[in-house]
Structure 1
Amino acid sequence: MNKWLRKSLFVTISILTFGLVTPTQLMNQANANKITERDGVETAAPERNYVHSNNYVVESEFNREEFIQGLIKQAEIQSYQKFGTRIKPVIENEFREIILPNIERALEETATQFPESEVKNLTITEQPGAGLSEKIFNIKDSVSGKDILRFHVRRDNPPQEGYWFNFHYHTYHDQFHTHYELGSIYWAKNTPPKWMS
Structure 2
Amino acid sequence: MKQWLQRLMIASVAVLTLGAITPSHEIWLSFQDKDEPNETDARSGDTQYSLAIEETADDLVALPTYLEDQQLVDHARVLAYEKFGTRIGPKIQDEFDTEIFPRIEAVIQTTIHNAADRRLAITEQPSGDYAEKIFHVYDKTAEQDLIRFHVRTEKRPIDGYFYNFHYHTAEDGFVAHHTVGDIYWSKNTPPKWLS
Q: Post-superposition shift, 1:72? A: 0.6
Residue of 172, 180, 183 corresponding to 1:182: 180
Query: Is 1:101 equivalent to 2:102 in the alignment?
Result: yes
Matches within 5 A, 1:1-197: 47=56, 62-115=63-116, 117-118=117-118, 121-197=119-195
Q: Post-superposition shift, 1:47? A: 4.6
Residue identity matched to 2:103: N
Task: Describe the superposition over 1:103-145 as per-residue Cα deviations: whole angstroms up to 9, x where unpaired.
Answer: 1100111112123x31xx1101000000010000000111111
SS at match of 1:188: coil
Q: Which has the higher contact order (CA 8 A, sep 6+)?
A: 2
Residue identity matched to 1:148: L
Residue identity matched to 1:76: R
Which structure's residues are more often helix, by fraction? Answer: 1
Q: CA RMSD in A?
A: 1.8
Residue identity matched to 1:67: E
What TM-score, normalized by structure 2, do the two folds share? 0.68
Residue identity matched to 1:152: H
Q: Distance in 2 between matches of 1:61 and 1:162?
A: 47
Q: Distance in 2 between matches of 1:173 and 1:160?
A: 36
What TM-score, normalized by structure 1, do the two folds share? 0.67
Q: Distance in 1 between matches of 2:98 and 2:159?
A: 22
SS at match of 1:130: coil
Residue identity matched to 2:107: A
Q: Post-superposition shift, 1:65? A: 2.1
Q: Identical aligned pairs, as a percentage? A: 43
Q: Larger C-alpha radius of gyration, 1 or 2?
A: 1
SS at match of 1:189: coil
Q: Distance in 2 between matches of 1:91 and 1:126?
A: 22
Aligned length: 138
* Structure 2: gaps of 5 or more residues: 1-54
Task: Describe the superposition over 1:20-55 as per-residue Cα deviations: whole angstroms up to 9, x where unpaired.
Answer: xxxxxxxxxxxxxxxxxxxxxxxxxx959xxxxxxx
Q: Cα gap change, 1:161/1:151 in structure 2, threshold over 3 Å: closer, same or farther?
A: same
* Structure 1: gaps of 5 or more residues: 1-45, 49-59
